[in-house]
Amino acid sequence: MTQLTMKHLRYFEALARHRHFGRAAEASAISQPALSLQIKELEELLGAPLVERGPRQIRLTSLGEDFALRARDVLRSVDELASLARASTGPLAGRLRLGIIPTIAPYFLPQLIRRLSHHFPDLELRPREAVTQRLVRDLAEGRLDLALVALPVSEPSLIEHPLFDEEFLLVRPMAESALPVPRLEDLAAMPLLLLEEGHCFRDQAIAACKLPRAPAGEIMEGSSLSTLVQMVGAGIGVTLIPEMAASVEVRSAPVTLQRLPAPRPGRTIGLVWRRTNPLSDRLADLARLLHAPDAMPQPAQIS
């Protein structure tokens, strides 16, 4: 067992996470044959199979499931040891793995990178875009250091630090620009375009506007705000977008923006990280830096 290495653990954890040799190899930046060889070597060291290999997919054996959990614990502890050393040596430096949701990433990430690069020149930021559920899981399993999401996440193991609030804006076809702004309760009967299941912005928009879980007027789901805005421009319906997205998404579509009546729906954006992260105090300092007035997204210009 003395031959067991961290490389074995990292490769097997990637396979357990992706449940696919090709995707696990890609995530690990090695070839598929090399990954397969490492997993076979690990099984030989343990004297028992970890994986059931099928023609199209793999399954973990009972031992494999238990081993994957323990491997994640070991890998997270090793990463936290590295973070502990970094926490005692001055300003934030080295690799920082940041998760960010798709309805924030295109609009706020460039500004965030510039600000962090200025204040922490030795910081190596590694952004990863994914939906909230995936980011929270990756935080819990030690694959991320912090995440930029819509709050609250309501996960007891995570610290939440609010940064700013923003409104949701109504996007309508340009031909409807002179029409009165609808009441929130009227949106349920309109042809409302929403992001597909899994995006927290979809749930926030439905909840904030007091819509049923499956609005009667809904006719399309999209994977991005860009798609929804373009469809509005084509006259198919209306949609909601976060205010930070307005200047980017509406400039190439024949649409008009409107602020909804009070109480205006919106969301709170903030950072979350594990309570046990040795860098917790430094991450709180980083959050306070991003909370400064000059770090906030600019309000949308509504004509």
Q: State pLDDT tens for residues 27-54.
A: 888 999 999 999 998 988 888 889 988 7
Where is 296: in which H helix or E strand? none
Question: According to the model, what pLDDT value does residue 211 have?
Answer: 67
Q: Is the pLDDT of residue 168 over 80?
A: yes
- Least confident span in 52-61, 122-131, 189-198, 207-216: 207-216
- pLDDT score for 274: 93
What mean pLDDT do residues 232-238 have? Answer: 92
Q: Which two tokens stand for residue 11?
A: 């490769």
pLDDT value of residue 1: 47
Q: What does the pLDDT average to over 151-163?
A: 94
Band (pLDDT 50/70/90 cuts) for residue 212 is: low
* CATH 3.40.190.10 segments of the chain: 92-164+267-295, 166-266
Superfamily grouping for domain 166-266: Periplasmic binding protein-like II (3.40.190.10)
Q: d(Cα 260, Cα 245) in Å, to the nearest integer?
A: 16
pLDDT surpasses 90 at 161: yes
Which H or E run includes 174?
none
pLDDT band at 128; cut points 50, 70, 90: very high
pLDDT value for 87: 57
**What's the confidence (pLDDT) of residue 222?**
83
Range list for CATH 1.10.10.10 in the chain: 6-84
Identify the band that residue 102 occupies on the pLDDT scale cut at 50, 70 and 90: very high
Confidence of residue 203 (pLDDT cuts 50, 70, 90): confident
105 vs 94, higher pLDDT: 105
Topology, domain 92-164+267-295: D-Maltodextrin-Binding Protein; domain 2 (3.40.190)
* Domain 6-84 annotated CATH 1.10.240.10: no
Mean of the pLDDT values across residues 77-86?
Answer: 70
Q: Alpha-carbon Rg of the chain, whole angstroms?
A: 23
In three-state secondary structure terms, 63 is helix
Enumerate the β-bridge partners of residue 96: 125
Look up residue 210 and give its two tokens: 């007091």
The pTM for the full model equals 0.74
- pLDDT at position 101 is 96
Share of the chain above pLDDT 90, in %: 40
Q: Which of 28, 3, 26, 33 is nearest to 13 (CA)?
A: 28
The Cβ-side half-sphere exposure at 169, using a 13 Å CA radius, reads 24
What is the predicted pLDDT for the residue at 218? 52
